[in-house]
Amino acid sequence: MNSTNPMKGVVLRLALASLLASAACNERKGPEVYSVEIRKGPFEIVVQAEGKLRAVRTTPIKPPPQIHQGVIKWLIEEGTEVAPDQVVVRLDDSKMTQELTEAEAKVAQRDLEIGSEKRTQAKAGRELTDQVAMIGKENDIAQRFALKDEHLFSRSDLIDNEIDLALLEAKKDHYGKLLDRQEEKRATTLDLLAVRRRIDQSRVNRLNDQKAHMEIRAPHAGAFYYKRNWRGEAPSAGMTIWSMSTIGEIPDLSEMEAVVSVLESEAQGIAEGREVLLELDAAPGRVFRGAVRSISPLAQAIDHDSPVKFFETIVALEHTDPDLMIPGGRVRARIFVARLDEVVAVPNQSLFSESDQTWVHVIENGRAVRREVVAGTRGPSRTVIVEGMQSGDRIALADPEESAP
């Protein structure tokens, strides 16, 4: 029976491995270079973005122009189907009711003031008129029985009589003027009171008009959706609104679009017409096609507490599914800045350039050889080669000179 020494086998294997390693080192013609074979295929530059859906056409629901400021008392549940002229928002009218009561009381007070003034002026007018009439009668009597015969009366009596007649005439003229001034005063005072009453009545009319518009109604049929502010807050009971505020909207759900936010650093190359693929949170795995409709000219921050800026990008959809797509529905978008078929593209780290020359290192007969190329579209990780390479070429992933020990 033959016996085998296990230590002898281990030594033989170690010796064989050493010989193979030595042979490999002797056959190496240069420093080790990591390389990759290039094949034609699709080339894509894709920008990821998130956003939400909205209707292309929508009717904003705002307070009527009569309401300068108000507080929401009640509003219909979001997503409710409403009929034309149906109430969707009620504003709190308690303060307005109190103001209206006070304004109506002020008008009633003006009416009392006008009535009292008319009675006072009428009484004063009658007294002056009676006084003028009485003086007129006295003057007539005095004129009729005036002492005129110089042969019958003394010079002194005639002078006294003329003085009495002149006094009566002056008195008559004085009370006549008083009556004219009293009439002017009466008209001025009543006109002033009338103006004040019109101002108070105008306030009553305005408050009545505003109170009649404290219920905001749907202009047409559709689903009512809340309009959120820049903080993402939906309108609610107790919130103050103004005449230009948009409380909600009734969108036309037959045509939707997506509004997505693209990072400022990733927006280069995004333009009108770029292809977009969308996925809805409401329908995971289902893809909808679209195209960039527009992109905002300036990047803006979405969060006031963050310096990161985004470009607002509008995506037109090829197809709208009303059963899945509702305003505010979240979406994820893939925007294709570039999408080419059957092109030669190389990793960016394998491409080198200086001045007006661009080259790669092609592996030929086990050696890296510099070859000038014409580069095309450049993406985050790969660049299209327009001229100088063909499918099947193997290129170094790094500069061989830098890889040398």
DSSP 37: E
Q: Which pLDDT tens digit goes with each residue over 85-115?
A: 999 999 999 988 999 999 999 999 999 998 9
Highest mean pLDDT of the ranges 31-45, 161-175, 178-192: 31-45
Specify the amino acid at residue 248.
G
DSSP secondary structure, 175-211, as one string = HHHHHHHHHHHHHHHHHHHHHHHHHHHHHHHHHHHHH
In this predicted structure, what is the pLDDT of residue 2? Answer: 42
Q: Are residues 218 and 233 in the same domain?
A: yes
Asked if the model's pLDDT at residue 405 lies above 60, the reply is no
Q: Which of 294, 335, 304, 303 is nearest to 50 (CA)?
A: 335
Q: Are residues 115 and 178 in the same domain?
A: yes
Asked if the model's pLDDT at residue 6 lies above 50, the reply is no
In this predicted structure, what is the pLDDT of residue 4? Answer: 42
Which residue's entry shows tokens 């305005």?
206
Higher pLDDT, 284 or 230: 284
pTM value is 0.59
Q: Total structural domains in the chain?
A: 2
Residue 396 CB neighbour total at 10 angstroms = 22
In this predicted structure, what is the pLDDT of residue 12? Answer: 33
Q: Sign of the CA dihedral 397, 398, 401, 404?
A: negative
Q: Which pLDDT tens digit goes with each residue over 291-333?
A: 999 999 999 988 777 889 999 999 999 999 988 998 889 999 9
Task: State how far the Cα of 120 lies from the Cα of 117, in Å rounded to an integer.
Answer: 5
Q: Are residues 118 and 150 in the same domain?
A: yes
In this predicted structure, what is the pLDDT of residue 9? Answer: 39
N- to C-terminal Cα separation, the chain:
54
Six-digit token string for 314: 């509008």
Q: Which pLDDT tens digit goes with each residue over 218-270?
A: 999 999 999 988 777 899 999 999 888 899 999 998 999 999 999 999 998 89
Domain with 184, as residue range(s), is 94-208
The packing angle between helices 155-212 and 94-144, to 10°, is: 160
Q: Are residues 148 and 111 in the same domain?
A: yes
Specify the amino acid at residue 169.
E
Reported confidence tier of residue 29, pLDDT bands at 50, 70, 90 = very low
Asked if the model's pLDDT at residue 120 lies above 90, the reply is no
Q: Are residues 136 and 242 in the same domain?
A: no
Asked if the model's pLDDT at residue 216 lies above 70, the reply is yes
**CB 133, CB 179: distance < 8 Å:** no
Reported confidence tier of residue 366, pLDDT bands at 50, 70, 90 = confident
Q: Are residues 87 and 219 in the same domain?
A: yes
- State the CATH number of the domain containing residue 233: 2.40.50.100
Burial of 169 per CB tally in 10 Å (0-12, 13-18, 19+): middle
